[in-house]
Structure 1
């Protein structure tokens, strides 16, 4: 009896659509991770699949400022808006980002409802 259950379970897994097994992943950003850029007025994130907007959490943190050796992390007030495709979002700081280093963090659930997240950093000259 047991081999039948194993065979049925394997057949079920093979027949599931690939999208059902996927997780939301960040595929590109502007500014790009590790880049040095002029004072951006926004940060763009693009994902491999649609996000559930109600689950989105974002954070922009200034992690370093020129001339301040021990700059404490400082959260940057911002809003965000989802793209019409549901696979992108734009983070809008209240004012353009000043010179320093920044870390952007996000978390959200995709169509599979599993919460995923990551972070990336960039520098403003």
Structure 2
């Protein structure tokens, strides 16, 4: 009876001693513009995403939507065309809208996998005045 308990205890200790990165997931740690920020349209040339760890570039998916426009009560979400590039550090990504962002609210969604290959994602919004 003691052997299964000992085996489970040893297995638990071995698992607990593994490097923390095995349990980490990619997450967004900051962005420019920041989540919920209001910025001048002259200041938005790109949207920059910074992650807590290196992202597997082939797993990265992003979307930029305009979700609200001044004076339009029921503005349907509209996809905004952009080009993108991963930073040399592997922890950052830049989205460059093909046209200047007009005043309104925008939402960025992303999903990607880090070293553990587990896909994570989130979204944030900002406003352009």
TM-score scaled by length of structure 1: 0.97
Shift of 1:17: 0.2
State whether structure 2 residue 124 is matched by structure 1 residue 120. yes
Shift of 1:14: 1.6
Where structure 2 has 5 or more consecutive residues not aligned to the other structure, the ranges are none
State whether structure 2 residue 34 is matched by structure 1 residue 32. yes
Shift of 1:46: 0.2
State whether structure 2 residue 56 is matched by structure 1 residue 52. yes
Where structure 1 has 5 or more consecutive residues not aligned to the other structure, the ranges are none
Query: How do 1:4-83 residues align onto structure 2 when only pairs under 5 Å count?
Result: 4-39=6-41, 40-83=44-87
TM-score scaled by length of structure 2: 0.94
Are the aligned partners of 1:50 and 1:85 in contact in 2 as well (CA < 8 Å)? yes
Q: Secondary structure at the match of 1:7?
A: helix
Cα distance in structure 1, aligned partners of 2:112 and 2:51:
11
Shift of 1:71: 0.5
The structure with the largest alpha-carbon Rg is: 2
CA-based RMSD: 0.7
Query: Runs (4+) of structure 1 moved beyond 6 Å?
Result: none
